[in-house]
């Protein structure tokens, strides 16, 4: 056995993830001295825990608990990152349900199964499993800026979650609480226009995640008369949208984002508009990861648009394919292996050195906009993209994140568009390709049912491209 090699790998792992060397908060609270890598000394850590516990003291009112939570939030705002992390760890590790109470409640529930007391015992059991951590989060939400504080706290924590499992309890608890607090029933749909406050328009520029907004002229174009922009707002975060969608009204389904982003283009004639094209959807709060708004946003926007423009017949997207190029880099050879002899011969005539190999194909698509539309490389990339979107599943869901979102909402894959996004980002992520997802309002439930069975709904055009 090569012990030196094993030891070297173990030390490398520990150095790569230094929290592996750290003591739990329980060990640190019982200690007297601080280790070098620890931010708060045992004494300060104990004091911080005492202040956190004071927030959920059953003897104090909601108002007083909120006041105490606000004091901790003020300390947190000034604390360096390492000290903030110590507070996360305390919230995650030290506010757990009492195992003895849980055990008793579980025994009572088991004994009550099959009796008239079963339902009540089940409620008591669920209550017993609720951790004091949830009560702590509720108290933080009691003061005016409390929800904003918690959303930002979770956003701060996301980077550490990848390496420290001890934070998962706090993260899961926050996601659960946020899914309740940010239920769509509590959200307001608002239109964002050029007449909206400048501070709100600046938020669009800041949070736009699909097609970067480059100037005020750019954002004005996106808020022109033939466009609509809508966002979901929460009463406690009323100054910025949680998610927003940009819509173009036109007489046909767009195949390229270039004309949509052309600041000099004339506005479309709204009297002739029959298509509502969703060309950008952006979440704004990373701290709300895992809380879904998009499905409800699209439904509400469709209803709003139909009231304003009854003549609209088609609701579709022009969407990026962010995972395609990376997937192709890993799967190019397996795609080439699917080709028949004729297709391989055609490729051999145009690939560097005549080699029908993954490296040659990937080299050829490094500059996708230079490819002739009649090139066999162009055709193969389109086929690969169709396969990626329509066949690649993980745990029964589409591999591509944007496809997962729209197909999960009941859309179908309608059309692939070559050179639809010529930006550097578009070429890097998807060889310049974009895809139209069609929201057929009469078939949304049918498409969801198909997806639940592992079948992705696609148009005949996409079917014709698949291997």
Long-range contacts of 450-457 (CB under 8 A, 24+ apart): 451/397, 451/407, 451/408, 452/396, 454/393, 454/396, 456/389, 456/390, 456/391, 456/393, 456/398, 456/403, 456/407, 456/413, 457/407, 457/411, 457/412, 457/413
What pLDDT score was predicted for residue 306?
A: 96
Q: Which of 211, 378, 387, 406 is catalytic?
A: 406
What pLDDT score was predicted for residue 258?
A: 97
Instruction: Specify whether 459 is catalytic.
Output: no
- 54-to-93, 127, 153, 465 alpha-carbon distances in Å: 16, 21, 20, 63
In this structure, are strands 188-191 and 434-438 parallel, antiparallel, or unpaired?
unpaired
Strand partners, 107: none
| Cα 461 from Cα 428, distance rounded (Å) | 25
User: What is the pLDDT tens value at each position of the chain, 467 positions in all?
Assistant: 454 454 444 444 444 555 556 899 999 999 999 998 899 999 999 999 999 999 999 999 999 999 999 999 999 999 999 999 999 999 999 999 999 999 999 999 999 999 999 999 999 999 999 999 999 999 999 999 999 999 999 999 999 999 999 999 999 999 999 999 999 999 999 999 999 999 999 999 999 999 999 999 999 999 999 999 999 999 999 889 999 999 999 999 999 999 999 999 999 999 999 999 999 999 999 999 999 888 899 999 999 999 999 999 999 999 999 999 999 999 999 999 999 999 999 999 999 888 899 999 999 999 999 999 899 999 999 999 999 999 999 999 999 999 999 999 999 999 999 999 999 999 999 999 999 999 999 999 999 999 999 999 999 999 999 88
Instruction: Specify whether 406 is catalytic.
Output: yes
CA-based torsion, 159, 164, 165, 168: positive or negative: negative
Find the angle CA(32)-CA(91)-CA(47) to the nearest 5 degrees. 40
What pLDDT score was predicted for residue 276?
A: 98
| Cα 310 from Cα 229, distance rounded (Å) | 18
| Cα 105 from Cα 117, distance rounded (Å) | 13
375 DSSP 8-state letter: -
What pLDDT score was predicted for residue 114?
A: 94
3-state SS class at 195 = coil
What pLDDT score was predicted for residue 19?
A: 53
What pLDDT score was predicted for residue 382?
A: 97
24 DSSP 8-state letter: P
User: How many other C-beta atoms lie within 10 A of the C-beta of residue 160?
Assistant: 17
Q: Give the CA count within 13 Å in the CB-facing half-sphere of 462.
A: 21
Which of these, 439, 443, 388, 386, lies nearest to 411 by C-alpha position? 439
Q: Which of 319, 360, 387, 447 is catalytic?
A: 319
What pLDDT score was predicted for residue 245?
A: 97
Backbone angles phi, psi at 458, to 5 degrees: -140, 160
234 DSSP 8-state letter: B
């Amino acid at each position: 056995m090569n012990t030196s090699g094993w030891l070297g790998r173990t030390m490398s792992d520990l150095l790569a993830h230094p929290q592996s060397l750290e003591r739990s908060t329980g060990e640190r609270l019982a200690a007297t001295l601080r280790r070098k890598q620890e931010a708060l000394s045992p004494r300060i850590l104990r004091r911080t825990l005492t202040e956190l516990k004071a927030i959920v003291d059953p003897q104090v009112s909601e108002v007083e608990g909120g006041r105490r939570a606000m004091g901790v939030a003020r300390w947190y705002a000034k604390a360096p990152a390492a000290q903030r992390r110590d507070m996360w760890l305390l919230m995650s590790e030290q506010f757990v349900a009492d195992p003895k109470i849980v055990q008793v409640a579980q025994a009572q529930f088991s004994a009550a199964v099959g009796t008239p007391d079963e339902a009540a015992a089940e409620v008591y059991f669920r209550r017993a499993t609720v951790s004091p951590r949830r009560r702590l989060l509720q108290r933080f939400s009691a003061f005016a800026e409390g929800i904003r504080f918690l959303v930002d706290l979770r956003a701060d924590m996301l980077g550490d979650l990848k390496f420290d499992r001890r934070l998962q309890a706090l993260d899961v608890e926050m996601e659960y609480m946020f899914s309740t607090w940010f239920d769509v029933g509590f959200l307001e749909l608002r239109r964002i226009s050029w007449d909206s406050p400048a501070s709100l328009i600046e938020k669009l520029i800041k949070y736009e995640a699909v097609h970067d907004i480059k100037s005020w002229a750019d954002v004005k174009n996106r808020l022109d008369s033939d466009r609509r922009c809508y966002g979901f707002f929460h009463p406690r975060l009323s100054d910025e949208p949680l998610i927003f969608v940009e819509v173009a009204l036109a007489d046909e389904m767009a195949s390229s984002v270039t004309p949509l982003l052309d600041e000099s283009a004339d506005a479309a004639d709204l009297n002739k508009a029959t298509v509502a094209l969703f060309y950008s959807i952006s979440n704004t709060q990373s701290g709300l990861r895992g809380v879904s708004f998009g499905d409800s946003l699209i439904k509400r926007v469709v209803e709003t648009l139909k009231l304003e423009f009854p003549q609209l017949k088609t609701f579709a997207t022009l969407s990026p394919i962010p995972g395609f190029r990376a997937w192709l880099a890993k799967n190019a050879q397996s795609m080439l292996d699917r080709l028949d002899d004729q297709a391989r011969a055609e490729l051999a005539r145009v690939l560097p050195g005549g080699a029908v190999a993954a490296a040659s194909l990937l080299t050829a698509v490094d500059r996708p906009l230079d490819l002739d539309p009649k090139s066999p490389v162009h055709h193969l990339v389109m086929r690969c993209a169709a396969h990626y979107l329509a066949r690649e599943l993980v745990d029964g869901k589409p591999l591509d994140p944007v496809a997962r979102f729209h197909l999960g909402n009941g859309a179908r894959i309608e059309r692939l568009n070559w050179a639809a996004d010529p930006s550097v980002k578009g070429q890097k992520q998807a060889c310049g390709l974009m895809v139209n997802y069609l929201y057929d309002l009469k078939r949304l439930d049918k498409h969801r049912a198909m997806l639940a069975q592992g079948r992705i709904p696609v148009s005949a055009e996409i079917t014709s491209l698949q291997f």
